[in-house]
Amino acid sequence: MNIRFGAAAGPFMIWVVAMVLILVAWQVLVWVSGLPPYVIPPPALAFQTLFDNWPRLSVLTGQTLYETAIGYVLGALIGFLLALAMGQIRVVQRLVMPALIISQAVPIVAIAAPLVIIFGFGITPKLIIVAWIVFFPVVVNVLDGLASVDRDMLNLARLMGGGGLRTFAIVKLPACIGPLFSGLKIGATYAVTGAVIGEWTASSKQGLGTYLLTANAQMNTAGVYAAMLLLTVIGVGSFLLVFGLEVLMTPWRSRSTAPAWAQWKPSQPTS
């Protein structure tokens, strides 16, 4: 709710203010604690490191971003389809739900190791971990959306002669879009964490996660912070992207009239 309100009040300014506040707090912490830069580097040093190592860091960012994005889309797609199947067929829901909850109760770090043993050092285990994290909030929210459809609305659709497929597309599916995005927004901030955990377990290709490990081992604290900054940008960027998509795809939530392209105009030719 606050996010929606913030978006309406001027999305750009609010984000600028938030980032400045965080940087100021970071700088103040450095001053007040009096800790040396190899324990807490000041923001300026972190940014300096970031820019100095940009050629390398940009490649690593690309790799992590790639894992995050593909895994995210995969998880979202699987979660959405699974929820639709579960919502349509009661038995499937009864059978699958406990399995889903168990899957989420197992610590993700514990899952990472066996995945690497099974799938090797390539990109597959990273994608699975990211998808694993993303699909659960999607399933739960989409199921809620399906369950929120009014029984009487379905009765009305039946009285109007609506077949199963059309009723699904017109009455049920749109009711899931809002909840779908609630799930996707939760997933968007977690997905990058999944990619990092995947890289920590084992990697043939370097990403920000692997860089984080090496920088840490070398006491390259400024490097750690630079990677942290980049990971944060990926997380926030994913969230904003999903949020923007949500606003576009659920115009009835934020607007009082249909967007121009969807408006009916009397001049339209009648056939």
Partner 1 sequence: MPETQEPRTAAEPPGSGTPAPTKLSIEKLNVSFGSVTALSDVSLDIADGEFVCILGASGCGKSTLFNVVSGLLKATSGKIVLDGQDVSSRPGQVGYMLQKDLMLPWRTVLGNITLAASLTRGATAQDRAEAAELASRYGLGDFLNHYPHALSGGMRQRVAMMRTIAAGRQVMLLDEPFGALDAQTRLGMQQWLLQLWRDLKRTILFVTHDVDEAIYLADRIVVMTPRPGRIAEILTVDLPRPRPLEVLTTDTFVGLKRQIMQHLYH
Binding residue for partner 1, selected from 18, 147, 156, 219, defined by CB under 8 A: 156
Q: Which of 63, 181, 191, 174 is nearest to 134 (CA)?
A: 191
Least separation, in Å, of the C-beta of 256 and partner 1? Answer: 4
Decide: is 160 part of the binding site for partner 1 (CB under 8 A).
Answer: yes
Least separation, in Å, of the C-beta of 85 and partner 1? Answer: 22
| CA gap 142, 216 in Å, rounded | 40
Residue among 66 and 168 whose Cβ is closer to partner 1 = 168
- With 0-12 CB in 10 A as exposed, 13-18 as middle and 19+ as buried, what is 107? exposed
Q: End-to-end CA distance of the chain: give it in Å, rounded.
A: 43
- Could you tell me which stretch among 77-85, 137-145, 234-242, 260-268 binds partner 1 (CB under 8 A)? 260-268
Residue among 34 and 266 whose Cβ is closer to partner 1 = 266
Instruction: Show the tokens assigned to 28.
Output: 């103040």
Decide: is 163 part of the binding site for partner 1 (CB under 8 A).
Answer: yes
Alpha helices, DSSP H only, in 160-220?
A: 164-167, 173-201, 208-217
Asked if 126 contacts 198 with a C-beta cutoff of 8 angstroms, the reply is yes
Instruction: Show the tokens assigned to 9.
Output: 């009040």
Decide: is 27 part of the binding site for partner 1 (CB under 8 A).
Answer: no
Decide: is 2 part of the binding site for partner 1 (CB under 8 A).
Answer: no
Q: Which residues of 155-186 are buried (b: 16+ CB within 10 A; e: fewer)?
A: eebeeeebeeeebbeebbbebbebbbbbbbbb
Decide: is 261 part of the binding site for partner 1 (CB under 8 A).
Answer: no
| CA gap 31, 37 in Å, rounded | 10
CA torsion through residues 161, 166, 172, 177, sign: negative
Least separation, in Å, of the C-beta of 252 and partner 1? Answer: 4
> Cα 150–86–66 angle (5° rounding)?
110
Least separation, in Å, of the C-beta of 9 and partner 1? Answer: 20
| CA gap 212, 69 in Å, rounded | 19
- Could you tell me which stretch among 26-34, 60-68, 196-204, 245-253 binds partner 1 (CB under 8 A)? 245-253
Binding residue for partner 1, selected from 157, 191, 197, 208, defined by CB under 8 A: 157
Residue numbers 104-133 binding partner 1 by CB under 8 A: none
Decide: is 1 part of the binding site for partner 1 (CB under 8 A).
Answer: no
Decide: is 262 part of the binding site for partner 1 (CB under 8 A).
Answer: yes
- Could you tell me which stretch among 33-41, 117-125, 154-162, 222-230 binds partner 1 (CB under 8 A)? 154-162
Asked if 230 contacts 50 with a C-beta cutoff of 8 angstroms, the reply is yes
- Could you tell me which stretch among 98-106, 188-196, 236-244, 247-255 binds partner 1 (CB under 8 A)? 247-255
Residue numbers 170-189 binding partner 1 by CB under 8 A: 170-171, 174, 177
Binding site for partner 1 (CB under 8 A): 150, 152-153, 155-163, 166-167, 170-171, 174, 177, 250-252, 255-258, 262-264, 266, 268-271
